[in-house]
């Protein structure tokens, strides 16, 4: 019988089930004596084997993925069970001799005993030695290698002395140090290098090395690696264990102990001092916060006191505006109009008086009023005062370069100075009495000039001293106090200047009061 369109790689006959097995490029195919053939799969996948051999009633095969499989007489496929250290190895060839299976890897040849399940390494390979075949004769192994025939007595393989592990050099920061029982290192001596070597009594044998740091898990180094480097270790005690990997067992343990000192900032003394400093800083910060809160409370109290004083000052201004003497004069003027049967003037005067009274009462609810509101109130007041004079009193209110008359100024701020100009400057003047009030914008300030042609401040003071020895000028006391209160805690201040106008003979020609109020 001929199986067409396949490339055969290996074949074997199993007497137990009278079946011939073919390892082909299309998979593993079984053919029974009656000529029936079928593909044998592993987990419903094609099994690509490069070689198959029989031991007793089972077949063993090496796949193209370099793994070993077992095919029993029922054509069931399973991986070959090997010790853990060989479970992840890749095999490039295998040979079955009697009860032994010889598994070839790139670096070793292992003997697997089908009966006992034990595994031992029988030959080490290097990059310049390649083993291609092996036979077992009279308990002697004959290996065909690229260097010739290597013969080994099977019985002597396990009787060789075990290999040894030696620590050759211990380096700290690249400098060699003596290996004492215990090394005490400085905080910056934290780059460790351990050079070691292995001694084998079997030619061409090489062994990997396990290492462990303190209580960590064991780790393994490559067989070609003869150096263990540990960089930037933190402070503390270290115990490093090295052990030789002999048939996946740890033998010939070597131990190194050392301590890396803590840096000074981790010492108990430094931590204690640092804690004291932190506590001190915390205490200073706490005291600072307490003083800050106290200062804020003090400012709040000052603000409340300021508002209280400001309100009292405003009330004083209102009281000055609405004093009994002013009411008496106003009512006398109204009475004179009534007695003269001048009803029209009486009604007009009474209307202005009531409007002025209403405006002043409304101002008590406001801290600031617009320029327009101030002009209206001043006009009412001056119209009422004008009625007391014999038609020789004139006043004029002008606004210059101010486009917005809604700019705010403190309420009742101008009235006392206008009152002083009328009562103390103009009232005692003979002839035409003039009062000129001008609002203008000067940079970021509102400039207000109250100009009169009265007798002047000096003459007025002399008259007041004669009339009332206890006279205390409102403008120089109550209003100055109010200005001080308004300026408190403000960067931009309200300023008031008094200009005494004099002629060439140093005779008074009146007074000009200049008030500048910040727009904001």
The pLDDT of residue 315 is 54
Residue found under tokens 């002597």: 156
In 3D, which of 444, 449, 447, 448 has the Cα closest to residue 520? Answer: 444
Classify strands 58-63 and 148-153 as parallel, antiparallel or unpaired: unpaired
In sequence order, which residues have a C-beta less than 8 Å from that of residue 66 and are 6 or more positions away? 90, 91, 92
Task: Please count the other Cβ atoms lying within 10 Å of the Cβ belonging to residue 475.
Answer: 18
CATH fold label, 164-264: Immunoglobulin-like (2.60.40)
Q: Give pLDDT, residue 309.
A: 67
Give the DSSP letter of residue 64: T
CB neighbour list of residue 481: distance below 8 Å, 6 or more residues apart: 309, 313
Report the Cα–Cα distance between both ends of the chain, in Å, rounded.
Answer: 114
Give 489's DSSP letter.
T
Token pair 């002047």 in the structure block, residue: 456
Give CA 311 to chain center in angstroms.
49
Q: Which two tokens stand for residue 258?
A: 């050392």
pTM of the shown model: 0.43
Q: Which residue ranges does the chain devote to CATH 3.30.565.10?
A: 301-518
SS3 at position 225:
coil
Residue ranges of the chain assigned to CATH 2.130.10.10: 8-157
Q: Residue 84's pLDDT is what?
A: 79
Strands (E), 49-147: 49-55, 58-63, 68-71, 77-79, 93-97, 100-104, 108-113, 119-124, 131-137, 140-145
Q: What is the pLDDT of residue 316?
A: 58
Look up tokens 């405003």; give the residue. 314
Q: What is the pLDDT of residue 323?
A: 54
The strand order across the sheet containing 219-221 reads 183-185, 249-260, 236-246, 209-213, 219-221
Tokens read off for 217:
């898990």
The reported pLDDT for the residue numbered 126 is: 75
Q: State how far the Cα of 68 lies from the Cα of 83, in Å rounded to an integer.
A: 13
8-157 to CATH, choices 3.60.20.30, 2.130.10.10, 1.10.599.10, 1.20.950.20: 2.130.10.10
> Residue 406 corresponds to which tokens in the numbers above?
């809604």
3-state secondary structure of 354: helix
Other beta carbons within 10 angstroms of residue 281's beta carbon come to 10
Ranges of the chain with pLDDT below 50: 321-322, 474-475
In whole angstroms, give the CA distance from residue 239 to residue 177. 16
pLDDT in tens, 402-461: 877 888 888 878 888 888 888 888 888 888 999 999 999 988 899 999 999 998 888 888
Token pair recorded at residue 448: 């207000």
pLDDT value at position 340? 77
CATH 2.60.40.10 domain range(s) in the chain = 164-264
- Bridge partner residues of 448 (DSSP): 439, 515
Greatest C-alpha distance within the chain: 163
Selected from 1.10.3720.10, 3.30.200.20, 3.30.565.10, 3.30.70.1140, the CATH number assigned to the domain covering 301-518 reads: 3.30.565.10
């Amino acid at each position: 019988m001929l199986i067409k369109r396949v490339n055969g790689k290996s074949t074997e006959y199993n007497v137990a089930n009278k079946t011939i097995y073919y390892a082909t490029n299309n998979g593993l195919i079984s053919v029974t004596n009656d000529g029936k053939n079928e593909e044998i799969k592993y987990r419903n996948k094609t099994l690509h084997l490069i070689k198959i051999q029989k031991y007793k009633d089972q077949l063993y095969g090496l796949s193209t993925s370099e793994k070993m499989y077992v095919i029993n007489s029922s054509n069931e496929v399973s991986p070959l069970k090997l010790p853990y250290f060989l479970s992840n190895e890749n095999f490039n060839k295998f040979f079955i001799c009697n009860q032994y299976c010889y598994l070839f890897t790139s670096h070793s040849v292992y003997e697997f005993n089908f009966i006992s399940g034990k595994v031992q390494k029988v030959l080490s390979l290097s990059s310049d030695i390649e083993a291609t075949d092996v036979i077992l004769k009279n308990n002697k192994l004959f290996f065909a290698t690229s260097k010739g025939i290597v013969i080994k007595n099977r019985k002597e393989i396990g009787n060789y002395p075990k290999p040894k592990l030696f620590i050759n050099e211990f380096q700290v920061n690249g400098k060699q140090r003596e290996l004492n029982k215990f090394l005490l290192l400085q905080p910056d001596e934290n780059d460790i290098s351990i050079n070691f070597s292995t001694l084998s009594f079997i030619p061409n044998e090489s062994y990997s090395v396990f290492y462990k740091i303190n209580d960590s898990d064991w780790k393994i180094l490559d067989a070609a690696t003869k150096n263990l480097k540990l960089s930037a270790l933190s402070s503390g005690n270290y115990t490093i264990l090295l052990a030789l990997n002999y048939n996946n067992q740890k033998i010939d343990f070597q131990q190194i102990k050392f301590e890396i000192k803590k840096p000074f900032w981790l010492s108990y003394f430094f931590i204690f001092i640092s804690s004291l400093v932190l506590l001190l800083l915390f205490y200073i910060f706490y005291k600072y916060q307490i003083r800050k809160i106290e200062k804020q409370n003090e400012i709040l109290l000052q603000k409340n006191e300021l508002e209280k004083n400001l309100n009292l000052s405003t009330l004083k201004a209102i009281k000055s505006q609405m004093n009994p003497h002013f009411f008496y004069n106003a009512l006398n003027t109204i009475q004179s109009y009534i007695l003269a049967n001048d009803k029209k003037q009486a009604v007009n005067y009474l209307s202005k008086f009531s409007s002025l009274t209403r405006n002043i009462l409304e101002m008590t609810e406001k801290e600031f009023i617009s320029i327009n509101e101030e002009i209206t109130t001043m006009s009412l007041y001056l119209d009422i005062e004008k009625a007391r004079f014999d038609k020789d009193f004139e006043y004029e209110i002008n606004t210059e370069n101010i486009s917005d008359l809604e700019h705010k100024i403190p309420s009742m701020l101008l009235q006392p100075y206008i009152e002083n100009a009328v009562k103390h400057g103009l009232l005692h003047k003979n002839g035409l009495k003039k009062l000129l009030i001008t609002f203008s914008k000067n940079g970021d300030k509102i400039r207000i000039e109250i100009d009169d042609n009265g007798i002047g401040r000096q003459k007025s003071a002399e008259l007041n001293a004669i009339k009332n020895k206890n006279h205390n000028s409102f403008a120089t006391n109550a209003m100055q106090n109010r200005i001080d209160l308004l300026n408190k805690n403000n960067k931009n201040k309200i300023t008031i200047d008094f200009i005494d106008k004099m002629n060439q003979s140093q005779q008074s020609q009146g007074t000009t009061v200049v008030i500048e109020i910040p727009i904001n």
